Amino acid sequence: MTREEKTSAIAELKEELGSTPFFYLTDSSTLSVAKINKLRRMCFEKGITMKVAKNTLIQKALESEPESKGFSALFSALTGPTTIMISDNPKAPAKLLEEFRKTEARPLLKAAYIDTSVFLGDDQIKALTQLKSRDEMIGEIIGLLQSPGKRIASQITATGTKIAGIVKTLEERAQ
């Protein structure tokens, strides 16, 4: 690889990894070509971009990003063959890995970057599959905010019904 090719590869990785809030670093070595193709197909169907890159190029691309993003915690995972999975959904790659590994031993999760949080190690897949998406979190918050209002409305309705019942009973007694 020439210096120009390396520079363009670093720039491309910097653009992709710097602009996405969610990506996974995995080890898919020892998988046959047929299995890698199957994994790529599954990634494509789920809207996940899958790339293989050299660790030094990945590290240089991440080093050029601001320190506030917290990419430096990922450097320890950049050993051996690395496959990058990029997605708009934070748990989509974890679910895909979990599904694929029902029949295969790999790919192994090296690290995941989720909105400045870093998850290191293959044992983090379970935690990553249970992450809630932004829309799910917003739905829960709205539900929690609506809950007191619904209770007050039901109390008012119930109180009005009770008062109407009392007035009706008093009216019947007066007759």
Q: What is the pLDDT along the chain (175 residues), one digit of tens a residue?
A: 788 888 888 889 888 888 888 899 999 888 899 999 999 999 999 999 999 989 899 999 888 888 888 888 889 889 888 999 999 888 889 999 999 989 888 899 999 998 878 898 888 888 888 877 777 778 888 877 877 767 776 766 666 667 777 777 877 887 7
Q: What is the pLDDT of residue 163?
A: 72
How far is Cα 112 from Cα 85, in angstroms, rounded to an integer? 9
Residues 126 and 140 in one domain: no
Residues 108 and 173 in one domain: no
45 residue type, one letter: E
- The CA–CA distances, whole Å, from 125 to 2, 94, 118, 157 equal 37, 6, 12, 47
Closest listed residue to residue 107, CA positions, set 42, 47, 57: 42
Residues 16 and 97 in one domain: yes
Residues 75 and 157 in one domain: no
Residues 163 and 122 in one domain: no
Q: What is the pLDDT of residue 5?
A: 87
For the record, the structure tokens of 93 come out as: 């790659």
Residues 88 and 107 in one domain: yes
Residues 19 and 82 in one domain: yes
- Would the pTM count as exceeding 0.75? no
25 touches 111 (CB < 8 A): yes
Residues 101 and 120 in one domain: yes
Residues 124 and 143 in one domain: no
As for how many domains the chain has, the answer is 2
Residues 65 and 84 in one domain: yes
Range(s) of the domain holding residue 82: 3-131
Place of tokens 């720039």: 11
26 touches 48 (CB < 8 A): no
Residues 108 and 55 in one domain: yes
Residues 138 and 158 in one domain: yes
Name the DSSP letter for residue 133: P
How far is Cα 72 from Cα 95, in angstroms, rounded to an integer? 25
